[in-house]
Amino acid sequence: MTIHIGTGGTPKSSEDRSTISGLKRLKELGLTAMEVEFVYGVRMGSEMAEEVGELAKKLGITLSIHAPYYINLTSTEKKKIEASKRRIIKSCERGHTMGAKIVVFHPAYYGKLSQEETYERVKQECEEIIERLKEKGIKDVIVGLETTGKKSQFGNIDECIKIVKNVKGCGVCIDWAHVYARNGGKINFGEIIDKVLTLKNKHIHSHFSGIKFSDKGERNHLTISSKQPDYKELVKEIKKRNLDITLISESPNLEKDALKLKSMLNE
């Protein structure tokens, strides 16, 4: 059982907003994972990525990356699809340099397409992304589809799993709060874990927070004290199955909730 808990981005109590300070602060807090946030664009150069990777290794912190929000692999505009793929590829290049295990992204919107058509297109684009990464010699970063929180977005758990089973090089990031919001405030942690465990890669990469939602799905993230969802149930399932799992806090109480979940797991 290997559990890594950390934050999406630099902890709020860090000396400054830099990734380097963030890593040092995580070490002080006793947390062992960071998801480097490129959510508003990949602005980190490769030299900094190298520095981040070296420090993380030294401090025993496992890295992942969140690719930009502005991604839609099924846009009606070809230019936007190409730009989306470039953002994912650039994130993977930095990930490769820093030794990040997975790059996660929100894949697409259904728009006017059916679920099946959306699936086919996302699959095709993912295959192309992986092909282009191979040409660059990048094979060590998982291209991770995140379970999405809005009903208008491609990426329920079954869709993500289906892509991963059919496209070698892809993986899934389970956002527990998104699954909960999409299902109108319900989640069966055990059932989702069992689905992920049918995959070749048994390590589960995941995001956690509370969430506010409407009938369309996700509204905004909350702290885990909202008990939406109730993470006590997740802790039970993790312990019962001796899971290998990474848990990234996306709560407004970023590192505080990471520490809270850690203490729940240690109880």
* Binding interface with Zn ion (CB under 5 A): 146
Residue 146 vs 159, nearer CB to Zn ion: 146
3-state secondary structure at position 69: coil
Shortest Cβ 149–Zn ion spacing (Å): 8
Helix segments in 102-207, DSSP class H: 115-135, 157-166, 176-182, 189-196
- Name the minimum Å distance from CB 250 to Zn ion: 7
| Nearer to Zn ion (CB atom), residue 24 or residue 187 | 187
Nearer to Zn ion, 9 or 53 (CB): 9
Find the residue with minimal CB distance to Zn ion: 146
How far apart are the C-alpha atoms of 83 and 57, rounded to whole Å?
A: 31
Distance of CA 137 to the CA centre of its chain: 23
The DSSP bridge partners found for residue 149 are none
Q: How far is the CB of 175 from Zn ion (least distance, A)?
A: 6
Measured from the CB atom, the residue of 24 and 102 that comes closer to Zn ion is: 102
Alpha helix (H) residue ranges in the chain:
19-29, 46-59, 78-98, 115-135, 157-166, 176-182, 189-196, 231-241, 254-266
* Residue 66 C-beta: closest distance to Zn ion, Å: 6
